[in-house]
């Protein structure tokens, strides 16, 4: 996967297709439009009809046939479904695109691995790594020396302090906070973990655990394939 954090693409803007037609998809669509991209359709194989925000909702096959040269984005909340759709799009040789908002602040030493989504008013600080298919929603702050794993979703106004490792397939709820670790003892959010809205995480979260509260405490656990 390419590092997209250094320089904007010099390629002409392609037409953009968004897989999904819900809130996340519509929020991504208006940001793409504001950045000058030509968003042509949403895709929804469950209800491929009608329109949303003045754009048609097509099936995968309809969109693929009509806009073969388009750049695709996946904008759905379910992480397992997102993984399946990513595999489907890659197998079909469609191009998966990234979005980094012009209103995001991204350090020159950060690595953002395509495809990823970095929404407006997000801060990606020094020596961070954002892995493929991660989403950093509106107003998220990712401080220095943080890794955000593939397919992880950071909801609006998530704050991650320095020296934190967030595993793959994690869900961090609205307004939660992960306090800082250190270079000798990073805080680890295990694969598939869920952090509740408004929670404050002060220590490691095991893979598959759901935590909530201030300070965050486990509510439930599930087994995650490592």
pTM: 0.92
Note whether 157 and 126 are same-domain residues: yes
pLDDT one-digit tens code per residue, 146-196: 999 999 999 999 999 999 999 999 999 999 999 999 999 999 999 999 999
| Average model confidence (pLDDT) across the chain | 93
Smallest CA-to-CA distance from 103 within 87, 119, 79 is with: 119
Sign of the CA dihedral running 16, 26, 141, 218: negative
Give the angle 30-34-40 at the CA atoms, nearest 5°.
55
Last residue within a domain, chosen from 44, 72, 97: 97
Active site residue 54: no
Task: Please count the structural domains in the chain.
Answer: 2
Mean pLDDT of 44-66: 93
Given 54, 73, 137, 144, which residue is catalytic?
Answer: 144
Task: Note whether 105 and 206 are same-domain residues.
Answer: yes
Q: How confident is the model at residue 109 (pLDDT cuts 50, 70, 90)?
A: very high
**What is the structure's pLDDT at 225?**
67
Query: Is 77 part of any known ligand binding site?
Result: yes
CA 174 to chain CA centroid, Å, is: 14
pLDDT at 4: 54
Flag whether 82 is in a domain: yes
Residue 70 — very low, low, confident or very high, per pLDDT cuts 50/70/90?
very high
**CATH (domain of 57):** 3.40.50.20
In a domain, 223, yes or no: no
Task: Tell me whether residue 34 is in a domain.
Answer: yes
Query: Does residue 2 belong to any structural domain of this protein?
Result: no
Q: What single DSSP character describes residue 82?
A: H
| Displacement of CA 29 from its chain's centroid (Å) | 14
Distance CA 196, CA 45 (A): 30
Res. 222 pLDDT band, cuts 50 70 90: confident
Average pLDDT over residues 215-225: 85
Residue 219 belongs to some domain of the structure: no
Q: How far apart are CA 151 and CA 56, in angstroms?
A: 26
Residues 107 and 62 in one domain: no
Is residue 19 domain-shared with residue 57, that is, in the same domain?
yes
Which domain covers residue 39, as residue numbers? 15-97
pLDDT of residue 8: 42
Per-residue pLDDT at 7:
44
Flag whether pLDDT at 94 surpasses 70: yes
| Residue 57 and residue 117 in one domain | no
Q: Are strands 141-142 and 123-124 parallel, antiparallel or unpaired?
A: parallel
pLDDT of residue 221: 80
Q: Report pLDDT for 10.
A: 40
Q: What percent of the chain has pLDDT over 70?
A: 93
Same domain membership, residue 200 and residue 150 = yes
């Amino acid at each position: 996967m390419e590092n997209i954090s250094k320089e904007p693409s010099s390629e002409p803007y392609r037409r953009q297709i968004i897989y999904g037609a819900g809130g996340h998809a519509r929020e991504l669509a208006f940001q793409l439009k504001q950045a000058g991209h030509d968003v042509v359709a949403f895709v929804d194989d469950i209800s491929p009809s009608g329109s949303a925000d003045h754009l048609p909702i097509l099936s995968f096959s309809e969109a693929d046939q009509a806009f073969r040269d388009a750049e695709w984005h996946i904008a759905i909340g379910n992480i397992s479904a997102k993984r399946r759709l990513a595999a489907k799009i890659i197998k079909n040789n469609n191009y998966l695109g990234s979005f980094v908002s012009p209103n995001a602040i991204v350090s020159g030493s950060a690595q953002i691995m395509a495809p990823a989504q970095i929404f407006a008013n997000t801060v990606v600080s020094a020596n961070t790594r954002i892995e493929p298919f991660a989403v950093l929603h509106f107003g998220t702050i990712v401080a220095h020396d943080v890794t955000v794993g593939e397919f992880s979703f950071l909801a609006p106004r998530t704050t991650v302090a320095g020296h934190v490792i967030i595993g793959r397939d994690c869900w961090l709820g609205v307004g939660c906070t992960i306090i800082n670790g250190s270079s000798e003892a990073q805080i680890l959010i295990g694969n598939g973990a869920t952090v509740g809205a408004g929670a404050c995480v002060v220590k490691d979260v095991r893979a598959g655990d759901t935590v909530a509260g201030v300070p965050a405490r486990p509510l439930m656990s599930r087994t995650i394939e490592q």
